[in-house]
Amino acid sequence: NISSVPFSSLSDQISEKTLNAIADMGFQHMTNIQTEALPALLTGKDAVVCSKTGSGKTLTFLITAVELLHKLKFTLRNGLGVVILSPTRELSLQTYNVLKQLIKYHSQSHGLIMGGVNRKEEAKKLSNGVNILVATPGRLVDHLKNTPEFVFKNNQCLIIDEADRVLDIGFEEEVKFIINSLPKYRQNLLISATITDKTEGLANAFLRKTALYLGINKSPENGKIRSMATVETLRQGYVLCPSEKRLLMLLWFLRKKFRTRKTIVFFSSVMSVKYHHDLFNYINLTCSCIHGQQKQEIRARNFSQFCKAVTGVLLCTDIVGRGLDIPKVDWIVQFDPPNNPKEYIHRVGRTARGMNLVGNALLMLRPEEMKFIAYLKKEKVELEYYEFTWNKVPDEVEAQREIEELVTKNYYLNALAKGAFTSYIRAYRSHYMKQVFKEETLDLTAVAKSFGYPRIPCKIT
């Protein structure tokens, strides 16, 4: 991932101020995608930049943005010069924090706007003039429509980070509005670790015909863009576990790791995250969580604390599965299956990021879900089979009985468990890959056991 080419080799294209900031951040040599992309992007070309997670895409587009406005000598009165769109608040915040480090020797202004924070304060800052803006799509549309003093007629560049995710989570109309509201003559960049048909459609619709496709392989069969797979320093494996033993297996794994390793566990629903978070903390397995129903300040606090932690467990939904750079994560556990191979790639991209860093990924599948491995293989993702022997788990029958007793007697945990059980079935029912994840293969009594119930707790409608 790291090339032998230093950033200083681009001193004719990158200003001394930016090079000094990059050095302060601890970077001397470029990654492979930076070596390929930066010389072209710094000349103002439109591009799709697609490379593996953790490969340095964020710094690539931020250097492009900062240098563009530095060369144009942008000031407050020029207003908006560069927009960086992000799909989630967490990714927006993280991108903005990197931007602040990179731009510190420059005079250009910068800002962050996103849902969940004070809109009036944002409007005031935009009215005063923000040269580089990091934004979530919905909040940017709000200000474009309703903040009259917001000057965006001089915009020079639009960057859409995690472009496939922006479209996947339903921001298509907002993106179209933003594209049509900003000046037509500008540089456009689409950034992602994977490329979907929707992203390709967007690229064809609003990039110039001379746009570059960087870090991308095209399939020799049909000329379509191929998704990038995972980094070589990531060790990936899967275990097969029947429904009724899933919770016990996860508990056994986390008890072994939580004091010495940094682990992220992915679930399919908010309710499942809430239930497992409260259950684990109740039985003295300390963990934190991030999901979409938390207030912004709680999400930001939990994210920041886990970033700083050396060890620990973070339970989350796919809100954490995109772009976020969490330092030194040792393990990614996918307790609930991802929606497709692309989501798998993004989830495991939270580990083995940056220079010479290794990571581990564990996918937990029911025996009936084995077909998913073949679909991953098609995307050039090879997983090792980890055989698990249940004699490693002491007193598994007693452990299951204790959990069932706790869930039955504790009113609050019981309510959460019921919600999590229902959400799991519904997530399975609406799964994108119905050819693999078939609802009729679920034994509901066995599934109930994985949520701490001896029998099916409620009817699923």
Strand partners, 187: 157
Measured CA to CA, the distance from residue 195 to residue 193 in angstroms comes to 7
pLDDT over 90, % of the chain = 61
Contact by Cβ (8 Å): 328, 357:
yes
Contact by Cβ (8 Å): 319, 302:
no
Contact by Cβ (8 Å): 156, 191:
no
Q: Minimal CA–CA distance to 275: which of 443, 424, 455, 457?
A: 424
Domains of the chain with bracketed CATH:
2-214 (3.40.50.300), 234-451 (3.40.50.300)
Res. 251 pLDDT band, cuts 50 70 90: very high
Q: What is the pLDDT of residues 43-61, one digit of tens each?
A: 999 999 988 777 889 999 9
Q: What is the pLDDT of residues 254-276, one digit of tens each?
A: 988 877 889 999 999 999 999 99
- Measured from the Cβ of residue 32, the count of other Cβ atoms closer than 10 Å reads 16
Q: What is the pLDDT of residues 192-224, one digit of tens each?
A: 877 777 788 888 888 888 888 888 654 434 444
Q: What is the pLDDT of residues 289-319, one digit of tens each?
A: 999 888 888 988 998 899 899 999 999 998 8
Q: Minimal CA–CA distance to 317: which of 341, 342, 331, 335?
A: 335
SS3 annotation, the chain = CEEEEEHHHHCCCCCHHHHHHHHHCCCCEEEHHHHHHHHHHCCCCCEEEECCCCCCHHHHHHHHHHHHHHHCCCCHHHCCCEEEECCCHHHHHHHHHHHHHHCCCCCCCEEEECCCCCHHHHHHHHHHCCCEEEECHHHHHHHHHHCCCCCCCCCCEEEECCHHHHHHCCCHHHHHHHHHHCCCCCEEEEEECCCCHHHHHHHHHHCCCCCEEECCCECCCCCCECCCCCCCCEEEEEEECCHHHHHHHHHHHHHHHCCCCEEEEECCCHHHHHHHHHHHHHCCCCCEEECCCCCHHHHHHHHHHHHHCCCEEEEECHHHCCCCCCCCCCEEEECCCCCCHHHHHHHHCCCCCCCCCCEEEEEEECHHHCHHHHHHHHCCCCCEECCCCHHHCCCHHHHHHHHHHHHHHCHHHHHHHHHHHHHHHHHHHCCCCCCCCCHHHCCHHHHHHCCCCCCCCCCCC
Q: What is the pLDDT of residues 334-386, one digit of tens each?
A: 999 898 888 888 888 777 565 446 789 999 999 999 999 999 988 888 899 98
**How far lies 402's CA from each of 393, 448, 452, in Å?**
14, 15, 9
CA angle 12, 186, 207 (to 5 degrees): 105
Res. 75 pLDDT band, cuts 50 70 90: very high
Residue range 188-194: mean pLDDT, rounded: 86
Amino acid at 14: I
pLDDT at 222: 43
pTM: 0.66
Measured CA to CA, the distance from residue 79 to residue 74 in angstroms comes to 8
pLDDT at 227: 44
